[in-house]
């Protein structure tokens, strides 16, 4: 009995890299997979049939998969992708939002179109499939009154969670995906849908754009059972588990899977707090108060 037997999944951007690893892993555990990929370049130019490559790998290994070539950031296209899962296998259970591009540059050198394209593919390209999947699950929930057991697994990045030089488009897009995850986890839990976010790391086309990056590898280059810390499928077992019924109590979480480590990310949390005692703050005094009582960069001196 596979962990995901009977489940129907979509993995976006699964023609290459981390998405291909996720699609192979979900199929290995028994899911039927819609392999989505627009098939463009790493910076989002052009289109192609790269989804077919992953479908062929999955079917050669005895799994079930179909290709989808939609642009996830196109609202209607994302709707057609969800409809394809439902038309092909009668339902959707798991949505893995993974598609992405990069166009790195420091802000002075970054064009407006490089900002818009990256925000669009990552943020709208996550929101739009979520919207169509949530609509499908709402219809099922209304029809049966039973929790639908849906799963959304989004993809963030260490760059988004901590900031990264030269990525003033990519980093905020990935941070927004973490925030979208938290928000949707609140909205969809009532009907039994969990929403989590994974932060992977691997030697893919995206990291291949960085100076001194290791050679690009694909998930099927790594033989079964062999450990490679830059394998695009390093985070895929975590994704498969989050997609399973076993993880029905886990939602709104951000978890990085980097080489040997699975790291639970603590969300933004309140730190030291100044209280104005019900009086308006005085900007001229605020610097000293923050330095002594929040940042700890000045000694407070004798107070009592
Ligand atoms: N590689 C890393 O170390 C790393 C680290 C953190 C996060 N990520 C994230 O992992 C995800 C996968 O990236 P990757 O490293 O495997 O790169 P990749 O280029 O190998 O894979 C991304 C895939 O998304 C597809 N794609 C791009 N735009 C699309 C669109 N509009 N619609 C449908 N498909 C589209 C591409 O064709 C490509 O096959 C991305 O979201 C990326 O931000 C990667």
Cβ contact 10:92 at 8 Å: yes
Question: What is the rounded distance in angstroms from the CA atom of residue 279 to the CA atom of residue 282?
Answer: 9
Question: Which residue owns the Cα nearest ligand 1 atom 19?
Answer: 205
What domains sit in the chain, N to C, each tagged with a CATH number? 8-265 (3.40.50.720), 270-304 (no CATH)
User: From the alpha carbon of 202, which atom of ligand 1 is closest?
Assistant: 3
Ligand 1 midpoint to CA 142 (Å): 34
The 10 Å Cβ neighbour count of residue 187 is 12
The full DSSP string for 257-284 is EETTEEEEPPPP---S----TTS---HH
Question: What is the rounded distance in angstroms from the CA atom of residue 127 to the CA atom of residue 39?
Answer: 20
The single-letter DSSP state of residue 105 is B
Of the candidates 7, 28, 69, 157, the residue annotated as catalytic is: 157
Helices (H), 145-219: 158-162, 170-188
Q: What pLDDT score was predicted for residue 241?
A: 98
Q: What pLDDT score was predicted for residue 211?
A: 86
Q: How confident is the model at residue 209 (pLDDT cuts 50, 70, 90)?
A: confident
Written as six digits, the tokens of 2 are: 């596979």
Q: Model confidence over 178-203: pLDDT tens digits?
A: 999 999 999 999 999 999 999 999 99
Ligand 1 midpoint to CA 99 (Å): 4
Q: Model confidence over 86-121: pLDDT tens digits?
A: 999 999 999 999 999 999 999 999 999 999 999 999
Q: Bridge partners of 198?
A: 155, 255
Ligand 1 midpoint to CA 67 (Å): 16
Of the candidates 124, 174, 185, 235, the residue annotated as catalytic is: 174
Q: Active-site residue 157, yes or no?
A: yes
């Amino acid at each position: 009995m596979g962990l995901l037997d009977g489940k129907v999944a979509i993995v976006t951007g699964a023609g290459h890299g981390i998405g291909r690893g996720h699609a192979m892993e979900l199929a290995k555990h028994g899911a039927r997979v819609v392999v989505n990929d627009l098939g463009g370049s790493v910076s989002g130019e052009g289109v192609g049939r790269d989804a077919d490559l992953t479908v062929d790998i999955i079917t050669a290994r005895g799994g079930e998969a179909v290709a989808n070539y939609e642009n996830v950031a196109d609202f209607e296209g994302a709707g057609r992708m969800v409809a394809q899962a439902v038309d092909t296998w009668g339902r959707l259970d798991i949505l893995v939002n993974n598609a992405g591009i990069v166009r790195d540059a420091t802000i002075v050198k970054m064009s407006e179109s490089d900002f818009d394209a990256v925000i669009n593919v990552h943020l709208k390209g996550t929101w739009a499939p979520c919207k169509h999947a949530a609509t499908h699950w709402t219809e099922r929930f209304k029809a049966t009154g039973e929790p639908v057991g849906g799963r959304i697994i989004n993809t963030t990045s260490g760059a988004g969670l901590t900031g990264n030089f030269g990525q003033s488009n990519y980093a905020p897009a990935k941070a927004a995906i973490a925030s979208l995850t938290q928000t949707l986890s609140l909205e969809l839990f009532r009907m039994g849908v969990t929403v989590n976010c994974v932060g992977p790391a691997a030697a893919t086309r995206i990291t291949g754009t960085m100076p001194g990056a290791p050679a690009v590898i694909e998930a099927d280059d790594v033989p079964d059972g062999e450990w490679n810390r830059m394998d695009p499928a390093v985070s895929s077992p975590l994704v498969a588990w989050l997609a399973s019924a076993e993880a029905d109590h886990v939602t709104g979480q951000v978890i990085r899977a980097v080489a040997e480590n699975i790291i639970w990310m603590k969300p933004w949390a309140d730190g030291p707090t100044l209280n104005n005692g019900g009086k308006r703050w005085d900007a001229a005094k605020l610097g000293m108060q923050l330095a002594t009582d929040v940042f700890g960069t000045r000694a407070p001196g004798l107070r009592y």
